[in-house]
Amino acid sequence: MTAKQFMPAEIEDAQAMSASEAIEYHYDNDTRFFSLWLDPTLSYSSARWRDPLAIENAEPDLTAAQLNKLTFHLDAARIPKGGSLLDIGCGWGAILKAAVTERGAARALGLTLSRDQLDHITAGGWPGAEAKLQDVYEFDTDERFDAAISIGAFEHFARPEMDRPEKLQRYRAFFDKLHTLTTPGARFSLQTIVWDALTFDEAKKWIPQTVFPQSDIPFIEEVIEGANGAFRVIYLENDPTQYADTLDAWVKTLKTHKATILAEWGEEKYTFFERYLRNSKLAFQRRKNSLARFVMVRR
């Protein structure tokens, strides 16, 4: 099944959308809709089911696996007590909340392009945590952050029509921007979907234009090359099964709430997301995509 076969009519012209409009289209669905099938932290990115360096791993449920993911990134970022954190693509604020309530951060600032996510974080009222409706490329401040985290945002930085040099230029601009926003030696923990067993030309033919229009995910080497000179990579995980398992858990939970979703949001939305989750799982199982986690240090 191609992406076009289950594309809602209202986004068939998705290629005309701006990046921010495309993200708003997806994430500004009712937060209550997502809360039905995500975990309690509303983590809409791959969980961490396994530690690849551990000899043995427990078998967590989705909630525990998502908490494992948050713990990994917060540990990797090493926010100093009383320090500050920048969360790029902060979602509904799980990292921000944990940073100020559990990790001793005095300040945690999240950037999002979703009005619903901004409202959710503002309503949370966590002392020291704040979100801005802001594209990181356009974010300007005199503040310098002691640590940074980005989960599930890097996928949206490049556009499908970009050739490889243009993609690399876009990624270098991101890392240069992050370099100016962080203190010397700051840690950056990054999680992103990446292309796996595909060439650059093959990847261009695979890009779906449904759920995340105007997005082109990176290859691992593009992330490393983009960071070179601004950040040094000190740790990398590359495991497609982590996201495949997350998507499997999501689609199972979505199905358990089918009656509620049909009653409140209609058949088109249910069908759209059920097929999206199922087809995305296949992409990871077939090694078209993988899930990468990087830990970097600012030069």
Q: Which residues pair with 232 in a beta bridge?
A: 297
Question: CATH says 3-298 is which class?
Answer: alpha beta
Residue that is written with structure tokens 């990398």 in the block:
236
Question: CA–CA separation, 248 vs 30, rounded Å?
Answer: 22
Task: Render pLDDT for 273-293 as a digit per residue (tens, 0 to 9).
Answer: 999 899 899 989 989 899 999
Distance of CA 233 to the CA centre of its chain: 19
Alpha helices in the chain (DSSP H): 19-27, 31-37, 62-77, 94-101, 115-124, 164-181, 200-206, 220-227, 240-256, 258-265, 267-285
Angle at 37 between CA 279 and CA 100, to 5 degrees: 115
C-alpha 30/C-alpha 264 separation (Å) is: 10
The structure tokens listed for 254 are 């979505």
Residue found under tokens 């000190």: 234
Sort strands 129-133 and 145-151 into parallel, antiparallel or unpaired: unpaired
- Which of 190, 182, 98 minimizes the C-alpha distance to 153? 190
Tens-digit pLDDT profile for residues 188-212: 999 999 999 777 777 666 655 445 6
How far apart are the C-alpha atoms of 46 and 65, rounded to whole Å?
A: 9
Q: For the chain, what are the domain ranges?
A: 3-298
Other CB atoms within 10 Å distance of the CB of residue 59 = 8
Q: What is the pLDDT of residues 38-89, one digit of tens each?
A: 999 999 999 999 998 888 888 899 999 999 999 999 999 999 999 999 999 9
pLDDT at 186 over 60: yes
Tell me if 73 sits within 8 A of 102, measured CB to CB. no
Contact between 177 and 144 under an 8 Å Cβ cutoff? The reply is no
State percent of the chain over pLDDT 90: 76
